[in-house]
Amino acid sequence: NFILDQIASILGVTTSMLEQGGRRRAPRIADEPAPPTELEPTVMVRAAGQRRRAEECVLRLALADTSLLTHRFSEPEPPGTVLDRFDHGRFDDPPCRATWRLIESKAAGGTIPDGPDLIAAIEDEGTGRIVSALFVEGLRELSTPEVDAEALLRQAVEDLEVAIRRDENLADRADLASRRVDSADDAVAAINKLRAAGSDPAAIGRRRSGRVGGTTTFEGFPEEPPFPTSIDVDSCE
Protein backbone atom coordinates (compact mmCIF):
# COMPACT_ATOMS: atom_id res chain seq x y z
CA ASN A 1 0.00 0.00 0.00
CA PHE A 2 2.87 2.41 0.78
CA ILE A 3 4.35 1.85 -2.66
CA LEU A 4 0.99 2.41 -4.31
CA ASP A 5 0.52 5.63 -2.34
CA GLN A 6 3.92 6.91 -3.48
CA ILE A 7 3.25 6.07 -7.12
CA ALA A 8 -0.19 7.64 -6.92
CA SER A 9 1.23 10.85 -5.49
CA ILE A 10 3.83 11.03 -8.27
CA LEU A 11 1.25 10.43 -10.98
CA GLY A 12 -1.34 12.66 -9.38
CA VAL A 13 -3.99 9.99 -9.17
CA THR A 14 -5.69 8.15 -6.38
CA THR A 15 -4.67 4.71 -5.16
CA SER A 16 -8.04 3.23 -6.14
CA MET A 17 -7.46 4.33 -9.73
CA LEU A 18 -4.14 2.48 -9.80
CA GLU A 19 -5.76 -0.62 -8.32
CA GLN A 20 -8.49 -0.61 -10.98
CA GLY A 21 -5.97 -0.12 -13.75
CA GLY A 22 -3.87 -2.97 -12.46
CA ARG A 23 -6.73 -5.44 -12.65
CA ARG A 24 -6.54 -7.13 -16.01
CA ARG A 25 -9.51 -8.90 -17.35
CA ALA A 26 -8.92 -12.57 -17.69
CA PRO A 27 -9.04 -13.62 -21.32
CA ARG A 28 -12.29 -15.27 -22.21
CA ILE A 29 -11.81 -18.88 -23.03
CA ALA A 30 -13.88 -20.02 -25.95
CA ASP A 31 -16.43 -22.62 -25.13
CA GLU A 32 -15.15 -26.03 -26.05
CA PRO A 33 -17.34 -27.81 -28.53
CA ALA A 34 -19.43 -30.53 -27.03
CA PRO A 35 -18.00 -33.97 -27.68
CA PRO A 36 -19.72 -35.60 -30.63
CA THR A 37 -22.47 -37.89 -29.56
CA GLU A 38 -22.38 -41.43 -30.78
CA LEU A 39 -24.49 -41.87 -33.86
CA GLU A 40 -27.56 -43.91 -33.26
CA PRO A 41 -27.62 -47.07 -35.33
CA THR A 42 -29.64 -46.69 -38.49
CA VAL A 43 -32.65 -48.93 -38.61
CA MET A 44 -32.56 -51.04 -41.76
CA VAL A 45 -35.98 -51.50 -43.32
CA ARG A 46 -36.02 -54.93 -44.91
CA ALA A 47 -38.27 -56.06 -47.73
CA ALA A 48 -41.47 -57.97 -47.08
CA GLY A 49 -41.14 -61.62 -46.11
CA GLN A 50 -41.90 -63.47 -49.35
CA ARG A 51 -39.97 -61.04 -51.53
CA ARG A 52 -37.01 -60.98 -49.16
CA ARG A 53 -36.81 -64.77 -48.92
CA ALA A 54 -36.85 -65.10 -52.71
CA GLU A 55 -34.06 -62.54 -53.09
CA GLU A 56 -32.00 -64.15 -50.34
CA CYS A 57 -32.36 -67.57 -51.96
CA VAL A 58 -30.86 -66.34 -55.24
CA LEU A 59 -28.13 -64.42 -53.46
CA ARG A 60 -27.01 -67.19 -51.10
CA LEU A 61 -26.64 -69.67 -53.98
CA ALA A 62 -24.68 -67.12 -56.00
CA LEU A 63 -22.37 -66.37 -53.07
CA ALA A 64 -21.79 -70.03 -52.25
CA ASP A 65 -20.89 -70.83 -55.87
CA THR A 66 -20.14 -67.74 -57.97
CA SER A 67 -19.82 -69.89 -61.10
CA LEU A 68 -23.62 -70.08 -61.04
CA LEU A 69 -23.70 -66.38 -61.93
CA THR A 70 -22.38 -67.17 -65.41
CA HIS A 71 -24.53 -70.26 -65.99
CA ARG A 72 -26.85 -69.69 -68.95
CA PHE A 73 -30.45 -70.81 -68.62
CA SER A 74 -32.54 -71.79 -71.60
CA GLU A 75 -35.71 -71.74 -69.52
CA PRO A 76 -37.68 -69.89 -68.35
CA GLU A 77 -37.67 -67.32 -71.12
CA PRO A 78 -35.74 -65.28 -72.02
CA PRO A 79 -32.48 -67.28 -72.04
CA GLY A 80 -29.46 -65.84 -70.26
CA THR A 81 -27.59 -65.79 -66.97
CA VAL A 82 -29.01 -64.80 -63.63
CA LEU A 83 -27.18 -61.48 -64.00
CA ASP A 84 -29.00 -60.96 -67.30
CA ARG A 85 -32.34 -61.57 -65.62
CA PHE A 86 -31.90 -59.34 -62.60
CA ASP A 87 -30.16 -56.03 -62.22
CA HIS A 88 -29.72 -54.63 -58.74
CA GLY A 89 -32.72 -52.33 -59.19
CA ARG A 90 -35.05 -55.33 -59.16
CA PHE A 91 -33.95 -56.27 -55.66
CA ASP A 92 -36.15 -54.67 -53.02
CA ASP A 93 -34.25 -55.78 -49.90
CA PRO A 94 -31.41 -53.31 -49.11
CA PRO A 95 -28.69 -55.89 -48.24
CA CYS A 96 -29.53 -58.00 -51.29
CA ARG A 97 -29.65 -54.96 -53.56
CA ALA A 98 -26.31 -53.60 -52.31
CA THR A 99 -24.61 -56.99 -52.68
CA TRP A 100 -26.04 -57.55 -56.15
CA ARG A 101 -24.78 -54.12 -57.19
CA LEU A 102 -21.34 -55.14 -55.95
CA ILE A 103 -21.52 -58.38 -57.93
CA GLU A 104 -22.50 -56.43 -61.05
CA SER A 105 -19.55 -54.09 -60.67
CA LYS A 106 -17.14 -57.01 -60.26
CA ALA A 107 -18.65 -58.84 -63.23
CA ALA A 108 -18.27 -55.71 -65.37
CA GLY A 109 -14.55 -55.87 -64.61
CA GLY A 110 -14.33 -59.31 -66.16
CA THR A 111 -13.99 -61.51 -63.08
CA ILE A 112 -16.30 -62.38 -60.20
CA PRO A 113 -14.43 -63.14 -56.96
CA ASP A 114 -15.48 -65.87 -54.58
CA GLY A 115 -18.10 -65.31 -51.92
CA PRO A 116 -15.68 -64.47 -49.07
CA ASP A 117 -13.94 -61.84 -51.21
CA LEU A 118 -17.27 -60.30 -52.14
CA ILE A 119 -18.29 -60.17 -48.49
CA ALA A 120 -14.97 -58.57 -47.54
CA ALA A 121 -15.65 -55.80 -50.07
CA ILE A 122 -18.94 -54.84 -48.37
CA GLU A 123 -18.39 -51.64 -46.41
CA ASP A 124 -21.56 -51.57 -44.31
CA GLU A 125 -21.14 -53.72 -41.21
CA GLY A 126 -24.81 -54.61 -40.86
CA THR A 127 -25.08 -55.63 -44.50
CA GLY A 128 -21.88 -57.65 -44.16
CA ARG A 129 -23.28 -59.66 -41.26
CA ILE A 130 -26.49 -60.44 -43.12
CA VAL A 131 -24.70 -61.45 -46.30
CA SER A 132 -22.19 -63.57 -44.36
CA ALA A 133 -25.06 -65.54 -42.86
CA LEU A 134 -26.55 -66.03 -46.33
CA PHE A 135 -23.19 -67.27 -47.60
CA VAL A 136 -23.02 -69.89 -44.84
CA GLU A 137 -26.58 -71.01 -45.59
CA GLY A 138 -25.71 -71.31 -49.27
CA LEU A 139 -22.66 -73.45 -48.53
CA ARG A 140 -24.75 -75.72 -46.33
CA GLU A 141 -27.42 -76.00 -49.01
CA LEU A 142 -24.97 -76.85 -51.80
CA SER A 143 -23.01 -79.31 -49.66
CA THR A 144 -25.97 -81.68 -49.55
CA PRO A 145 -25.09 -84.96 -51.31
CA GLU A 146 -26.28 -85.27 -54.91
CA VAL A 147 -27.57 -81.71 -54.93
CA ASP A 148 -28.16 -80.11 -58.34
CA ALA A 149 -26.95 -76.53 -57.90
CA GLU A 150 -28.19 -75.42 -61.31
CA ALA A 151 -31.66 -76.80 -60.63
CA LEU A 152 -31.74 -75.02 -57.27
CA LEU A 153 -30.74 -71.75 -58.90
CA ARG A 154 -33.33 -72.19 -61.66
CA GLN A 155 -36.05 -72.69 -59.07
CA ALA A 156 -34.80 -69.71 -57.05
CA VAL A 157 -34.87 -67.54 -60.18
CA GLU A 158 -38.44 -68.60 -60.95
CA ASP A 159 -39.53 -67.93 -57.37
CA LEU A 160 -38.01 -64.45 -57.45
CA GLU A 161 -39.68 -63.68 -60.77
CA VAL A 162 -43.02 -64.71 -59.26
CA ALA A 163 -42.42 -62.61 -56.14
CA ILE A 164 -41.50 -59.54 -58.20
CA ARG A 165 -44.51 -59.99 -60.48
CA ARG A 166 -46.76 -60.40 -57.44
CA ASP A 167 -45.52 -57.16 -55.88
CA GLU A 168 -45.93 -55.32 -59.17
CA ASN A 169 -49.50 -56.58 -59.50
CA LEU A 170 -50.30 -55.58 -55.93
CA ALA A 171 -48.86 -52.12 -56.60
CA ASP A 172 -51.02 -51.82 -59.73
CA ARG A 173 -54.09 -52.85 -57.76
CA ALA A 174 -53.35 -50.34 -55.03
CA ASP A 175 -52.81 -47.64 -57.64
CA LEU A 176 -56.10 -48.52 -59.31
CA ALA A 177 -57.95 -48.50 -56.00
CA SER A 178 -56.60 -45.04 -55.17
CA ARG A 179 -57.58 -43.50 -58.49
CA ARG A 180 -60.88 -41.89 -59.23
CA VAL A 181 -62.53 -43.36 -62.32
CA ASP A 182 -64.62 -40.64 -63.93
CA SER A 183 -65.36 -42.23 -67.27
CA ALA A 184 -65.56 -45.49 -69.13
CA ASP A 185 -62.29 -44.63 -70.87
CA ASP A 186 -60.53 -44.36 -67.51
CA ALA A 187 -61.92 -47.73 -66.46
CA VAL A 188 -60.84 -49.39 -69.71
CA ALA A 189 -57.33 -47.91 -69.40
CA ALA A 190 -57.01 -49.21 -65.85
CA ILE A 191 -58.21 -52.69 -66.81
CA ASN A 192 -55.82 -52.82 -69.77
CA LYS A 193 -52.96 -51.84 -67.50
CA LEU A 194 -53.78 -54.69 -65.14
CA ARG A 195 -54.09 -57.18 -67.99
CA ALA A 196 -50.76 -56.06 -69.44
CA ALA A 197 -49.18 -56.78 -66.05
CA GLY A 198 -50.68 -60.28 -66.05
CA SER A 199 -53.31 -59.57 -63.40
CA ASP A 200 -56.96 -60.57 -63.51
CA PRO A 201 -59.15 -57.43 -63.36
CA ALA A 202 -62.06 -59.54 -62.09
CA ALA A 203 -60.17 -60.07 -58.83
CA ILE A 204 -59.78 -56.36 -58.11
CA GLY A 205 -61.73 -54.55 -55.43
CA ARG A 206 -63.84 -57.44 -54.18
CA ARG A 207 -62.96 -57.19 -50.50
CA ARG A 208 -65.80 -56.80 -48.04
CA SER A 209 -65.46 -55.65 -44.48
CA GLY A 210 -65.17 -58.62 -42.16
CA ARG A 211 -64.57 -61.21 -44.90
CA VAL A 212 -61.65 -63.54 -44.32
CA GLY A 213 -60.14 -66.52 -46.04
CA GLY A 214 -59.66 -66.97 -49.76
CA THR A 215 -58.01 -69.26 -52.24
CA THR A 216 -54.70 -69.32 -54.00
CA THR A 217 -54.50 -69.19 -57.79
CA PHE A 218 -52.18 -71.34 -59.86
CA GLU A 219 -49.77 -68.41 -60.00
CA GLY A 220 -49.44 -68.43 -56.25
CA PHE A 221 -51.12 -65.04 -55.82
CA PRO A 222 -53.80 -64.52 -53.15
CA GLU A 223 -57.30 -64.23 -54.54
CA GLU A 224 -60.34 -62.82 -52.76
CA PRO A 225 -63.25 -65.19 -52.09
CA PRO A 226 -66.18 -64.61 -54.47
CA PHE A 227 -69.30 -62.73 -53.51
CA PRO A 228 -72.09 -64.92 -52.14
CA THR A 229 -74.74 -65.74 -54.73
CA SER A 230 -78.45 -65.34 -54.16
CA ILE A 231 -78.52 -68.99 -53.09
CA ASP A 232 -75.81 -68.29 -50.51
CA VAL A 233 -77.78 -65.36 -49.16
CA ASP A 234 -80.97 -67.41 -48.91
CA SER A 235 -79.16 -70.21 -47.16
CA CYS A 236 -77.75 -67.77 -44.64
CA GLU A 237 -81.24 -66.59 -43.80
Q: What percent of the chain stands above pLDDT 90? A: 39
Cα 6 versus chain centre, distance: 84
Query: Residue 218 pLDDT more than 90?
Result: no
Backbone angle region of 210, left / alpha / beta, with phi > 0 → left and psi within -120 to 50 → alpha:
left
- Whole-model pTM: value is 0.61
Read off the pLDDT of each residue in 148-175 and give the average, rounded to a whole number.
89
Identify the band that residue 66 occupies on the pLDDT scale cut at 50, 70 and 90: very high
Residues forming CATH 1.10.860.10 domain(s) in the chain: 49-161
10 Å Cβ neighbour count for 97? 19
What's the topology of domain 49-161?
DNAb Helicase; Chain A (1.10.860)
- Confidence (pLDDT) at 77: 64
What is the rounded average pLDDT for all residues in the chain? 75
pLDDT digits (tens, 9 = 90+) for 99-134: 999 999 999 988 899 999 999 999 999 999 999 999
Q: What percent of the chain stands above pLDDT 70? A: 62
Query: Residue 181 pLDDT more than 90?
Result: no
The full DSSP string for 155-219 is HHHHHHHHHHHHHHHHHHHHHHHHS---SHHHHHHHHHHHHHTT--GGGTT---TT----EE-TT
DSSP class of residue 220 equals S
Identify the band that residue 49 occupies on the pLDDT scale cut at 50, 70 and 90: confident
